[in-house]
Structure formats: C-alpha cells, structure tokens
C-alpha cells in the first residue's frame, strides 16, 4: 500500500482579472501536497476560469481548523445522528 503524501490546508487570495481599476478577487480553502497540487473550495469570487494569479497564500494549522469548525458549529449546529 502506498503512503499518502503529506497535505496542508491553505487559504489563498487570487486575482481573477487583469483590470487594475476594477479588480476581481477569489478567496479559497485548499488541501495541497508539497508540490502545491490538490483541490479546494471557493469561498468568494467568480468561478475558476483558469487564468487567475495568486496574490497571497497562508498555511492554516490545527488551531485555525478548530476555530473555523467552532464558528461553523455555532452558526450551523451539527445534526444529531440517527
């Protein structure tokens, strides 16, 4: 059985347009490996068009994940299992 590559969680801010006067941005959460490959979820901005440019990437740690989960659970409480 092959070992799963190490993954990390990032939040990214991308520029989705080249218009300096009216910029369009995307914010997404991404699960990536050491080479930057992975998948994500767009939180804000237009759908991915393949031409966005990364402006900023921040790694999230376990503490960040726990705080995000707590906020989500506060607003969207988990449903009791059947």
In degrees to the nearest 10, what's the CA dihedral of 24, 27, 31, 34?
60
Residue 46 pLDDT > 60, yes or no? yes
pLDDT bucket at 14, cuts 50 / 70 / 90: very high
Share of the chain above pLDDT 90, in %: 62
Per the prediction, the chain carries an average pLDDT of: 89
Annotated domain spans of the chain: 7-75
Tell me which of 23 and 54 has the higher pLDDT: 54
């Amino acid at each position: 059985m092959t070992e799963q590559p190490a993954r990390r969680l990032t939040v990214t801010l991308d520029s989705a347009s080249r218009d300096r006067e009216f910029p369009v941005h995307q914010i997404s959460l991404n699960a990536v490996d050491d080479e930057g490959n992975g998948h994500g979820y767009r939180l804000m901005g237009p759908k991915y068009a393949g031409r966005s440019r990364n402006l900023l990437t921040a790694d999230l740690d376990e503490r960040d994940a726990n705080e995000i989960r707590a906020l989500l659970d506060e607003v969207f409480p988990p449903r009791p299992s059947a």
